[in-house]
Amino acid sequence: MKDQPKIAVLGGGSWATAIVKMFSENLDTVGWYMRSVYAVEHIKRNKHNPNYLSSAELHPEQLDLSNDINRTVKEYDILVFAIPSAFLKLELEKLTESLEGKIIFSAIKGIVPETGLIVGEHFFEKYNIPFENIGVITGPCHAEEVAMERLSYLTIACKDQAKATLVSECLKSRYIRTKISDDIIGTEYAAMLKNIFAIAAGISHGLGYGDNFQSVLMSNSIREMKRFIRKVHKMKRNINNSAYLGDLLVTGYSTFSRNRMFGNMIGKGYTVKSAMLEMSMVAEGYYATKSAFKIKEGNGAKTPIIDAVYEVLYGGKDAKKIFEKLTEKLN
């Protein structure tokens, strides 16, 4: 690729690994910050991430690996954050380098629990990054299928369409299709909300509800998503586009979905703590549920599915009884 941009990925999980793999298809050098010194050294020696997507072959000669976030921020112009939202604030507190002038893309499908903000809003309000320099990378796309090089689709959103196009071109390949959008707020909220609806799908599956109910749940989920996003950011958008409906469906139905898996365990009777310990992965929808519930209380959106998941996860209510009531509210 001619005149290659300086792009770095920040995060060490499966989605970060998948994004690094995608960028590596087009860029000679990809910066990659991860906390684990062990993971950095393992990738250099063995050409795969020891903890996530270990089947994905990496090419260390293309990777500028570091466990120093300040070095990565200093040396790269476009920073793609793929750190779980629950840990983002803690990682950003390590920064001594300024983010001024940097282009920030969020690949985080969650909400920052300490501020209750989606990631783009967090960078705008806490770090004074203008929205022209903030973007979103969203699905429908599971990291596991990227590792297997199965055809996948991404939506790249930014107010500055030139920046969205640039990142889009750096990600596309024979197995990755991309499209651009100017709906940075809507796509990021959709990426957060679909995890909550996937937890609902998992809970219903764990309780023994079948495919017929799941189809009704997903149909109601996309309408609930539309109502919620319209309240927080009203603009013309087609909620049936892949960035909204497609991402919801793959997260609600796929066996790769950690949020669905988490919900399934809750439906089967696991406590929140035991489900998280057994998964050993972050279910972004757990944290998003609390924040989304608070947001909807402030704007009055009708959200029976979010309310039901909140009552189960944070209200300590019996999942079976709550979902019996939910069935009467869906259509």
Q: pLDDT for 84-113, tens place per residue? A: 998 999 999 999 999 999 999 999 988 898
Averaged pLDDT, 215-223: 97
- Split at pLDDT 50, 70, 90, the class of 199 is very high
Tokens of 36: 């684990």
Residue 39 to residue 1: CA distance in whole angstroms: 28
β-strand pairing of 152-158 with 134-138: antiparallel
245-259 pLDDT tens trace: 999 999 999 888 999
Cα–Cα distance, 177 to 183 (Å, whole number): 18
Phi, psi (rounded to 5 degrees) for 175:
-115, 5
Confidence of residue 266 (pLDDT cuts 50, 70, 90): very high
Does pLDDT of 189 surpass 90? yes
- pLDDT bin (cut points 50, 70, 90) of residue 2 is low
Determine what percent of the chain falls in helix, strand and coil, rounding each to the nearest 5.
55, 15, 35
Residue burial 232-241, b: 16+ Cβ < 10 Å; e: rest = bbeeebebeb
Query: CA–CA distance from 233 to each of 45, 68, 156, 188, 190 (Å)?
Result: 46, 36, 18, 11, 11
Smallest CA-to-CA distance from 250 within 132, 143, 160, 166 is with: 143
Residues 70-89 have a mean pLDDT of 95
Angstrom distance (rounded) from CA 232 to CA 296: 9
Q: Is the pLDDT of residue 234 over 70?
A: yes
Catalytic amino acids?
194
Q: With a cut of 70, say whether residue 1 has pLDDT above it.
A: no
Mean pLDDT of the chain: 94
Distance of alpha carbon 195 from alpha carbon 286, whole angstroms = 8
What angle, 0 to 180 degrees and rounded to 10, lies between the N-to-C axes of helices 211-232 and 284-299?
A: 50
Give the residue-averaged pLDDT of 208-212.
96
pLDDT over 70 at 19, yes or no = yes
Tell me the domains of the chain and their CATH numbers: 7-182 (3.40.50.720), 186-327 (1.10.1040.10)
Please state whether 272 falls in left (phi above 0), alpha (psi between -120 and 50) or beta.
alpha
CA 34-39-45 angle, 5° bins: 125
Residue with tokens 């995608």: 22
- Rounded to 10 deg, the angle between the 304-313 and 211-232 helix axes is 100
Q: Is 130 helix (H, G, I), strand (E, B) or coil?
A: coil
From residue 194, alpha-carbon distances to 10, 83, 127, 138, 168 in Å are 23, 18, 27, 11, 22
pLDDT at 261 over 80: yes
Task: Please tell me the distance from the alpha carbon of residue 237 to that of residue 30, in angstroms, as a whole number.
Answer: 33
Percent of the chain with pLDDT over 90: 85
Phi and psi of 325, rounded to 5°?
-70, -40
Q: Which residue has the higher pLDDT, 2 or 329?
A: 329
Decide if pLDDT at 152 tops 90. yes
- According to DSSP, the β-strands at 30-33 and 63-66 are parallel
Average pLDDT over residues 154-159: 96
